[in-house]
Chain A
Amino acid sequence: MRQRSLIAITAALSAGALTLTACGSRDSDDKGSDSGGTTVTIGIDAPLTGDLSALGLGIKNSVDLAAKTANKQKYVDGITFKVEALDDQAQPSSGQQNATKLVADKSVLGVVGPLNSSVAESMQKVFDDAKLVEVSPANTNPALTQGTDWATSKKRVYKSYFRTATTDAIQGPFAAQYLINDAKKKKVFVIDDKKTYGAGLAGTFTEEFKKLGGTVAGTEHINPDSKDFSAIATKVKTSGADVVYYGGEYPQAGPLSKQIKAAGAKIPVVGGDGIYSADFIKLAGATAAGDLATSVGAPVEQLPSAKEFVANYKTEGYKEAYEAYGGYSYDSAWAIIEAVKKVVDDNDGKLPDDARAKVTAAMQNVSFDGVTGKVSFDEFGDATNKQLTVYAVENGAWKPVKSGTYSG
Chain B
Amino acid sequence: MNELPQQLVNGLLLGSMYGLVAIGYTMVYGIVQLINFAHGEIFMTGAFGALSVYLWVLPNGTTMWIALPLMLIGAILVAVLVAIGAERFAYRPLRGAPRLAPLITAIGLSLALQQAVWAWYPEATSARTFPQIEGGPFHIGDVTIQTGDIFLLAAAPISMAVLAYFVMKTRTGRGMQATAQDPDTAKLMGVNTDRIIVIAFALGAVFAAIGGVAYGLKYGQIDYRMGFILGLKAFTAAVLGGIGNIYGAMIGGVVLGIAETLATAYIADIPGMDKFGSQSWADVWAFVLLILVLLFRPQGLLGERVADRA
Contact = CB atoms under 8 A, between A and B. Distances in A.
Given A9-B105, A50-B126, A230-B14, 7 more contacts: A13-B108, A16-B112, A22-B115, A22-B119, A51-B223, A222-B280, A279-B127
Interface string B1-35: 10100110011011000000000000000000000
Interface in B204-232: 219-221, 223, 226, 229
B283 A223 contact: yes
B115 A23 contact: yes
Interface of A: 1-2, 4-5, 7-9, 12-13, 15-16, 19-20, 22-23, 49-54, 193-194, 219-223, 225-232, 234-235, 237-238, 251, 254-255, 258, 262-264, 279, 282-283, 285
A234 B7 CA distance: 7
B137 A231 contact: no
Given A50-B126, A53-B126, A231-B265, A12 B278 contact: no
A226 B229 contact: yes
Contacts, number: 135
A263 to B, nearest CB: 6
Interface stretch (B74-82, B91-99, B174-182): B91-99
Contacts of B229: 225-226
A376 to B, nearest CB: 35
A4 B118 contact: no
B129 A283 contact: yes
B218 to A, nearest CB: 8
Interface string B88-112: 0110011011000100110011011
A136 to B, nearest CB: 21
B125 interface: yes
User: What is the interface residue range for chain B against chain A?
Assistant: 35 or more
Interface string B115-138: 110110000011101001000010
Most buried by A among B1, B108, B137: B108
Contacts of A282: 129
Nearest to B223: A51
Nearest to A48: B125
B215 to A, nearest CB: 8
A269 to B, nearest CB: 15
Contact of A12 (B96, B97, B112): B112
